[in-house]
Amino acid sequence: MPFWPFKRSQQQSMNTFLIVGLGNIGVDYHNTRHNIGFAVLDELAKQADVSFSTMRYGDVTEMSHKGKKLIFLKPSTLMNRSGNAVRYWKKQRKISFQNIFVISDDVHLDFGYLRIRKQGSDGGHNGLRDIEVKLGSNQYPRLRVGIGANFKKGRQADYVLSPWNTDEKRLLPVIVNRATKAVIDFVTQGLEKTMSFHNGEVI
């Protein structure tokens, strides 16, 4: 009988990751800056040839890669209540904090800049704020994708909910593709190597 240093259920939990892309559901929000998290998960699902299904609190799909299971979650709660979805799927699939990876937009980073962190504050992002409140912790890894801050004072909400401009659309596939590689590296290479590989300017 083989010796397992952990119970099989514990091993499965350690090899299961919850990858959360933040955004807002509905055609009105499709291809907006605030939905970059959705865009990254859509590209990952396309590359893995898997399809999302509408389930509780969001659209969900799974893929396996090098012995790891990746659960992709696009919350259907709207951005400001993203924590409900993350909390539910974390509990449902018994995901540890260190195996959660949240992808969000960030107006504090230049367009095309990626920043991966082990933990941190919400930085004024409503989705990240709600996740921290609902989980009772900010001790989870996250990938922030820079969208720039080309807006006038008091117009941030309009900016993040507006579509990409022509120049951004042209460059967006490069950024999204780099972000998908960061997700896979996080799962297979670990957080520290992923930060060294991908933190910085993409374009």
Active site positions, annotated:
34
Confirm if 20 and 102 have CB atoms less than 8 A apart: yes
Confirm if 101 and 116 have CB atoms less than 8 A apart: no
What is the number of other CB atoms lying within 10 angstroms of the CB of residue 3? 4
Confirm if 202 and 112 have CB atoms less than 8 A apart: yes
CA-closest candidate to residue 111, choices 155, 154, 167, 156: 167
| 3-state SS, residue 49 | coil
- Spatial distance between the Cα atoms of 34 and 71, rounded to a whole number of angstroms: 21
- Spatial distance between the Cα atoms of 29 and 38, rounded to a whole number of angstroms: 10
CA-closest candidate to residue 126, choices 157, 162, 85: 157
